[in-house]
Amino acid sequence: MAAMITSWTPDKKHSDVERWICIYPAYMNSKRTLAQGRRLPKSSCVENPTHQEIRDVLVATGLRVGVENKLYPREKSKEMTFRGRIRVQIKNDDGTPVNPEFTSRESVMKYIGEAIPKLKTRQNRPAEQQPQTMHQATTKSKGKKGRR
C-alpha cells in the first residue's frame, strides 16, 4: 500500500484507507474458537487461511485491497504465517457499496470463506494427502491381525 495511514477522524472519506474494513485471517480460520477470534460459523470458514489467499480472492472481485504487516492481537504465535491484515474498501465516498454484492464486513468474509477452497493452491493439497492416510490405515490393521 502506497498511502500513509494516519489516525482516524470523522471527516475521513470512505476512499481513505483508514475507513476501509480490516480482516485478519483468524476471523475465518475453522481451527479457531470464537474466543480465539473466529467471527463466522465453522461451516463458512476454511482451515488456516493466509493473508495472501484472502488478498488473491478479493483482488479477483475488483475491490480495492491493501495488505499490512500486522499481527492479530489474540494471536499467540509470532510466526510469519500468521501475520498480515487485509484492508478492503467496501463503500464509495457517497456511502454506496463499491460492489453491490458486498455491503458489509460479514458478506465479504463469507465470500472469502467460499472462494478460498476453490483456489488452485487449495484444490491440490487434499488430493495428495488423502491416499497416503488411506494406505497407512490399511497397513496398520493388517499388521495387528497377523500378530494374534
Residue 8: inside a domain: no
Q: Is residue 11 part of a domain?
A: no
Is 74 contained in some domain? yes
Residue 127's pLDDT is 45
Domain membership of residue 47 as a residue range: 17-125
pLDDT for position 133: 43
Tell me what pLDDT residue 1 has. Answer: 47
CA distance 139 to 143: 6
Q: Which of 99, 121, 53, 91 is nearest to 45 (CA)?
A: 53
Instruction: Please give the average pLDDT of every successive group of 10 residues along the chain, which has 148 residues.
Output: 63 77 90 89 90 90 89 80 86 84 89 89 60 47 57
Question: Within a domain: residue 142?
Answer: no
pLDDT score of 132: 43
CATH number for position 63: 3.30.56.30
Q: Alpha helices, DSSP H only, in the chain?
A: 51-61, 105-115, 120-147
- Cα end-to-end distance, the chain, whole Å: 65
pTM over 0.75: no
3-class DSSP state of 37 = coil
Residue 10 lies in a domain: no
C-alpha cell at 1: 500500500
User: Collapsing DSSP states into helix, strand and coil, what is residue 17?
Assistant: helix
The amino acid that residue 144 corresponds to is: K
Note the pLDDT of residue 74.
84
Amino acid at 67: V
Q: Scanning the structure block, which residue is given the C-alpha cell 493473508?
A: 51
What are φ and ψ of residue 62, in 5° steps?
A: 95, 0
| Tally of structural domains, the chain | 1
Is 132 part of any domain? no
**Residues β-bridged to residue 88:** 21, 65
